Structure 1
Amino acid sequence: MPAATQSSEMYIGLMSGTSMDGADGVLVDFSGAQPVVLAAAHTPFPAPLREAFGALQQPGDDEIHREAMASNSLARVYADCVAALLRTADVPAGSVTAIGAHGQTIRHRPGQYDGIGYTRQSQHPALLAELADIDVVADFRSRDIAAGGQGAPLVPAVHAALFGAAGETRVVCNIGGISNISILPATNTGRPVTGFDCGPGNALLDDWNQRHCGTPYDDGGAWAASGKVDTALLAQMLAEPYFRAPPPKSTGRDLFHPGWLQTLLEPLDDRQPPAVDVQATLATLTATAIAQDVQRYAPHAQRLIVCGGGAHNAFVMATLAQLLPHVQVQTTADFGVPVSQVEAIAFAWLARQCVRRAFGNVPTVTGAAGPRVLGAIYPR
């Protein structure tokens, strides 16, 4: 099949985040003033793949082999998602310039050990290029880390393009497995975009729900809403030094994993709160960490615009509104962009930036020494 023409402005973005529930994909046309999503798809992870990536979050035996096998499986999930996008839009693979594939984060430790640290997004982009017959751009975070940055978050530039406005400060918050915010000053002020990871989003909530309810997530936050927040436990959670650390900063399951929660629960012995109260407390932790960061770093924000899976959690959304009474809490869907598509759109955009040899990071967000072209290209 012929390669995409130089004039093609169609790109695919693929995102699988720390929730590890599957791949979100979009086919985006960038030829107009604003990106247009031509198709969207979600391809769930098979249970063995989710378990494999969950195990790879922590050190273990035979990691190289296990990661390689998981990466091969992820490439096939990604390829299925790409096929669904092309089928829905009735677009041939040859019309797409490139796929931006995030990969599955299994370690994220910027700035540690030797002053640079590392990040690892597991995937097999060469296999994806082979299966999809489209150029693949991958490994977006490493170049920013090499320049002294955090490598995350990488979506604020797209948040600014989609949701920035003259005349008001806005904050865009993605609540995935980890939550992050992009602070968008009014576009007529000339002030830079900033942002960082706030802390846990859905990851701890999903893990606790799976453990006690046997389902992958708390649908709508209903279980959390039926519990009572344990204020003493919440205070212990918020004592985690990460919440007080100044930006630039980023985090992941390296810090906020089930063992982190267990270290807080174990000293309680027989005074441990009921499981439903722990869920309510975890949901409140997610909202409180976000709200505190908005108050601290964007005190004049008029709107908080939420995307990611957490936007479906009514308990978290209601708690955000309660904690931020002077901020209008909305979702990206209110601005025409479904909450599940924002990050995938961002990685389609990042792929386009790489192909065009244009900068992809925002140094005022990541702390990198300067703007950098992000990603490595794997030809079809």
Structure 2
Amino acid sequence: MNTTGDLLHVVTADDLPPARVALGRALIWGSGVLLVALFLLQMAQSMGWMTPWFETWRPTLYAYLTWAACLCWGQVLMRGEQGKRVLFVLPAVLFVVSLTVFPLLFGILIALSDWNLSSPTGRQFNGVANIVQMWHDPFYWNALGNMAWYCLAIVVEYTIAFGLALLLNAEIRARKFFRVAFLLPLMLSPVAVSWMIGKSMLEPRFGPLARLGRALGWDTPSFFGDPVIAKLTIMAMDAWTYIPFMMIMLLAGLQAIPREVQEAARVDGASGWRGFWEVTFPLMLPVSVTAILIRIIFKLKLADIVINVTSGGPGGATDTVTSFIFREYRDRSNVGYGTLLAMVYLVVIVIVMTILMKIADRFTRPQT
């Protein structure tokens, strides 16, 4: 064995006896078989396929903790010093798995069940019945269509945010004041925005904007009575809240552009619109794509404003998938069907965001 050098950073290969390695494998596989057997047993009794043996899922939890301990111990027995290095990461991985995989499996079990909290029969496994119901549910597909329109509104939000960022990046008076003032909507919660604007300023009888509409000749101002106007109003309220978020990201990107690049473009004759389109905008593409993707993520979970202001009305015109799922839980107490809708929506979000990130990578990839 080499005894020279820094021994604190040298991991030597251990000559492990076969019996020790066999013990490590036996611990891991034995505890793993126990975990799988208990999980399948409790899954079968949860679906009503056999007489219940356990009242709760605690046996599976204890089996998982036992398997985790045996896995860590087995790594040391089988790999020696290398196994000890694994212990720096393995407990954290097992903890993350316990917080993600088990809730996901339990959610899938609920999604495949007929579970209404107002029903005296409790939860009953019904297979793909919830999937068939979702497929023929026009209100859910209407909410998905509304989400497409809400996401398309991000194009307008991005344009406004970029314009404000360019304005605040210019040499104007009271620039610091305007930067703080434009960030104020972002400091408010969506619930506060929905009550402050949707329930107060846009109130059809006594709201100031309704009075202004009557003064301008609008006989019966109703911002949430007409489906098109209601959807546009929800878009405007949500945009007013989150445009500052995109603006501050774009402003940071503009300030990161070296002034030498812009001065060189002006020397070459690229000024005004041409300088923006050929110099500033291409350099801002990575920041722009990042801001748009994050904004899409925020938009896909839009619910607070809709729930507090319109509850999805009129006739589902302003409904989002999240607000529709919320009403399935709150108003109909339909836990099984609501969980299935949430699971499907999660899959849709993952697929859409993966595609968008692939497309965005092509635009932001450096050209060689």
TM-score by length of 2: 0.19
| Structure having the larger proportion of residues in helix | 2
TM-score by length of 1: 0.19
| Structure having the larger proportion of residues in strand | 1
Higher-Rg member (1/2): 2
